[in-house]
Amino acid sequence: MERLLTHIESPEDLKKLTLDELPKLAQELREFIIDIVSTKEGHLGASLGVVELTIALHYVFNTPVDKLIWDVGHQAYGHKILTGRKEIFETNRQLGGISGFPKRSESKYDDFGTGHSSTSISAILGMAMASKLKGDFKKQHIAVVGDASIASGMAFEGLNHLGVTQVNALIVLNDNAIGIDPSVGALKKYLTNVKAGTAKDENIFECLNLNYTGPIDGHDVKALVAELERLKHVDGPKLLHIITTKGKGLKQAEEDQVVYHAPGKFDKITGERLKKSGQLQPPKYQDVFGHTIVELAQKNEKIVGITPAMPSGSSLKFMMDQMPDRAFDVGIAEQHAVTLAAGMATQGLVPFCNIYSTFLQRAYDQVIHDVALQKLPVIFCLDRAGLVGQDGPTHHGVFDMAFLRCIPNLIVFAPMNEMELRNIMYTAQLGLDKPIAIRYPRGRGATIDWKNDFEPIEIGKARCLKKGSKIAILTIGHMGNGISKLIESLDTPEAVGLYDMRFVKPLDEDLLRTIFNSYQHIVTVEDGAKMGGFGSAVLEFANEERLTKPIKIFGVPDQFVEQGTIPETHKLAGMDFDTIHSYIQSTLDQCE
């Protein structure tokens, strides 16, 4: 039997189908997503959960004239496939391919870029208000937001404003009780009671002046079409509450929703994840953090852990499992996480606030006003710092050194390996008189035997790893491991010195003076933005000291780096092994 999906290149093709054909299309769309993601990897469970909703929205509404925003965008794969990207969907998240998230420059059907959560309500309200100001009262405006995302502060800010407007906007609440990890908080309990029919008399969304409908079955495509058709003719702000199952249609994805959010490669028939090489490998930095905080907390009862909705991704889950009363998932609420940590610090606790670098951007004022200004010793552990690979520019954690370095009273540290991460965590919990940010990358470290005995690190002190005579390479963080191997491959490795600077702030100025006096050329290497980052700090020091040695900075240039593997993104940024090697070798040749 010929497949329906074969003939669908746009929502116009979708509208030619009968209502009775839509369930078959849903099955085919699920199979297509599973088929591609099983071999190419990506986000699976979220898109499987909204297949019927995706079909119904494009069937009922006149996209792209009507505006449609997918919050976060993890669930937008079906949307991309139905809007002209089916043939190139296998390039998803790859270098030169389509983005894993909605992206305005990629398609006229992607009305807003959504790599971070909880922005859709504000954005769709802005679009709806623009339509109203232009006198266009027919255009529809729809935002799909999950139950984890709608609990975020920004989403509530949007709902609070939406309720006092009379714009033509529909919020579809996709309630599956999970974001990446299970949803948390009082709103989750409320939604659970709504589904069970035991909620209190007042409806929270109606109290916010939204026309509420639901909850309805989000996997009944015919019922969705009928309800969306009705809502299309209802004026004012509306909220449709649908119940879905994340991972719907793949047994393993339904049963293990956390792992199958982004499962890697798997067997598309059985759903079993493909086993990776049994070769012994260094641990992931996130796991070093997770095991180390448990180890420290067992001896220091003042230690607490906080993460905004990423307990598995950050490995704080280890502490949550072993010490549930001292480790907190606060939901998608980065601002709250930072100020909660600040409040705890005022009372003598030792808070480890564990946030992805890209998400700390969402709590910048809290870092300045609530933590640094008050010199509260919060320990920020910034996971996924640097270029992160296939998630692309919405998730690259490249700005933290630049935006944190300018904040007074804040220490900024980047460990070169697992032992340094453990040692700085140990040092920080011994007691600092100011906050510290510890940044480490996505992925694995450099050492198999990494569980060292703890040793304190002197604040502001770097390490000389190798002395040289002509070129000094100053590295910050994990990049130093690759540079160490690079030096070995040079024609005259003895001419090159290597320094693990460790602290972006405060800089080891005594060592820097020695380096500038001992070498002809200085090279800095960082997995972060060149503008305002570690290399900039070295330049500023040289300028203040009136040191005139040439300084070459390798880092992320003044551009957003697209997605690709981490080595591919390093090459895009001009900071890959070959580029740095060529520069060092040619500079050495000129020194002869």
Residues serving a catalytic function are 246, 334, 362
Task: State how far the Cα of 500 lies from the Cα of 517, in Å rounded to an integer.
Answer: 18
Q: Give the full edge-to-edge strand order of the sheet including 67-70.
A: 67-70, 141-146, 169-175, 238-243, 211-217
- Ligand-binding annotation for 478, yes or no, is no
Least Cα distance to 237 among 173, 315, 189, 284 occurs for: 173
Element (H, E) at 251: helix 251-255
Q: Are 15 and 62 spatial neighbours (Cβ–Cβ below 8 Å)?
A: no
543 marked as part of a ligand binding site: no
The annotation status of 261 as a binding-site residue, yes or no, is: no
**DSSP string across 75-131:** T-HHHHIIIIISTTGGGTTSTTS--SS--TTT-TT--S--SSSS-HHHHHHHHHHHH
Name the residue among 228, 249, 250, 223 with its Cα closest to residue 239: 228
Bridge partners, 437 (sequence order): 380, 412
Can you tell me the distance from the alpha carbon of 308 to that of 362, in angstroms, rounded to the nearest whole number? Answer: 11
**Helix and strand counts by DSSP (H, E) for the chain:** 24, 17
Q: How far apart are CA 317 and CA 86, in angstroms?
A: 37
Are residues 101 and 392 in contact, defined by beta-carbon separation less than 8 angstroms? yes
Contacts of 497 (CB under 8 A, 6+ apart): 464, 466, 467, 468, 469, 471, 472, 473, 515, 518, 519
115 assigned binding-site residue: yes
Cα–Cα distance for residue pair 385/312, rounded to 1 Å? 17
Do residues 420 and 478 make contact, with C-beta atoms less than 8 angstroms apart?
no
Rounded CA separation 351/341 (Å)? 6
Question: Is the CB of residue 488 less than 8 Å from the CB of residue 439?
Answer: no
Taking the CA atoms of residue 449, residue 451, residue 454 and residue 456 in that order, the dihedral angle to the nearest 10 degrees is: 60
Question: What is the three-class DSSP state of 526?
Answer: strand
Let me know: does 244 contact 176? Beta carbons within 8 Å: yes
- Tell me: is residue 116 an annotated ligand-binding position: yes
Q: Rounded to an integer, what distance in angstroms lies between the CA atom of residue 319 and that of residue 304?
A: 9
DSSP state of 451: -
Give 241's strand partners.
173
71: tokens are 């919050």
User: Contacts for 546-553 with beta carbons within 8 Å, 24 or more apart?
Assistant: 547/516, 549/516, 549/519, 549/520, 549/521, 549/522, 550/520, 550/521, 550/522, 551/522, 551/523, 551/524, 552/521, 552/522, 552/523, 552/524, 552/583, 552/587, 553/523, 553/524, 553/526
Query: Do the annotations mark residue 117 as ligand-binding?
Result: yes
Judge whether 74 is annotated as a binding position: yes
Distance CA(371)–CA(346), nearest Å, equals: 10
For 474, the 3-state DSSP assignment is strand
Residue list for the binding site for thiamine diphosphate: 74, 115-117, 148-149, 176, 334
Which residues belong to the annotated binding site?
Answer: 74, 115-117, 147-149, 176, 334
**Residue ranges at the known binding site for Mg(2+):** 147, 176
